[in-house]
Chains A and B, each alone.
Chain A
Amino acid sequence: MTDENPIVSEAARQMSICNACRYCEGYCAVWNAIEFKPVLDSGYIKHLANLCHDCRDCYYACPYNEPDHEFKLNIPKAMGEVRMETYTSYVRPKFLKFVIEKPALATILASSAAIAVAMLYASLVFGAGKFSTLPMTTVIPASTYKPITMLVYVYTIGIWSWEGISYWSEINGGTHFSGSGLAKGAYDAIFHTNFRGGGTGCKVPEERNRYFRMSAHSLVMFGFIDALVSISFYPDIFGLAGLAYLLGSLAVSTGTAALIYLHMKERVGSRSQKQSSMDYPFTILLFLAGITGVLVPISTGTAWFNWNFLMHDALIAVVFLLAPYSKFVHPVLRIISLIKYNSDSLKQTI
Chain B
Amino acid sequence: MGSKVIVVGGGNAALSSAIESAERGNAVILLEASPLHSRGGNSRYTRDIRYAHEEDEFTSGSYPKEELRDDLIGVSGSFDNPEVAELVIGRSQEMAQWMHEHSITFKKEIRGTLNLSRTNAFFMGGGRVLVDTYYKLIQKLGVRVFYDAPASSINISDCRVNSITAFLDGKEQEISADKYIFASGGYEGNKEWLSQFWGEKSRNIKVRGSRFNTGIPLRSLMGSNALMCGVEKAGHMVAVDSRSPEYDAGIVSRIDAIPWGIVVNKNCERFYDEGQDIWPKRYAIWGRLVADQEGQMAYVIVDSKATGKFMPTAYPSIDANSIEDLAGKIGLNADKTARLISDFNNGITKSGEDAFNWSNNGLPVPKSHWALPIDTPPYHAYPLSPGLTFTYQGVRINKTGRIVLKDGELENGFAAGEIASGNVLRSGYLAGFGLTIGTTLGRLAGGWEND
Contact = CB atoms under 8 A, between A and B. Distances in A.
A71 B315 CA distance: 11
Contact of B314 (A17, A24, A35, A197): A17
Interface string B98-131: 0000000101101111100000000011111100
Nearest to A70: B245
Interface string B229-273: 000000000000000010011111110000000000000000000
A60 B135 CA distance: 14
A23 B248 contact: no
B312 A20 contact: yes
Contacts of B364: none
Nearest to A68: B37
Given A20-B314, A38-B312, A61 B128 contact: yes
A207 B114 CA distance: 27
B112 A20 contact: no
Interface string A13-25: 0001101111111
Given A26-B107, A199-B124, A64 B252 contact: yes
B38 interface: yes
A20 B311 contact: yes
Contacts, number: 100
B125 A23 contact: yes
B206 to A, nearest CB: 12
B250 to A, nearest CB: 6
Nearest to B313: A20
Nearest to A1: B316
Interface in B113-165: 113-114, 124-129, 132
B312 A16 contact: yes
A63 interface: yes
A108 B110 CA distance: 46
Contacts of B111: 25, 32, 35, 345
Interface residues of A, number: 34
Interface string A57-70: 10011111000111
B252 A17 contact: yes
A198 B250 contact: no
A20 B245 contact: no
B114 A25 contact: yes
Given A16-B313, A20-B314, A27-B124, A198 B252 contact: no
B45 A57 contact: no
Contacts of A200: 105, 124-125
Contacts of B126: 21, 23-24, 61, 63
B191 interface: no
B308 interface: yes
Nearest to B112: A35
A200 B253 CA distance: 28
Interface string B281-302: 0000000000000000000000
A63 B112 contact: no
A39 interface: yes
B125 A32 contact: no
Contact of B250 (A38, A57, A64, A199): A64
B316 A198 contact: no
Contacts of B112: 22, 25, 32, 35-36, 348
A284 to B, nearest CB: 33
Given A22-B113, A198-B105, 20 more contacts: A16-B315, A17-B252, A17-B314, A20-B253, A20-B313, A20-B314, A21-B252, A25-B111, A26-B107, A32-B112, A35-B111, A38-B308, A39-B312, A60-B125, A61-B124, A61-B128, A71-B245, A198-B124, A207-B132, A345-B111
Q: Which 5 A-B pairs have the closest CB atoms?
A: A23-B126, A61-B125, A35-B112, A19-B312, A70-B245
Interface of B: 37-38, 40, 44-45, 47, 105, 107-108, 110-114, 124-129, 132, 245, 248-254, 307-308, 311-316
13 contacts: A17-B252, A21-B126, A21-B251, A25-B107, A25-B110, A25-B112, A36-B112, A61-B124, A62-B128, A63-B38, A63-B128, A63-B248, A64-B252
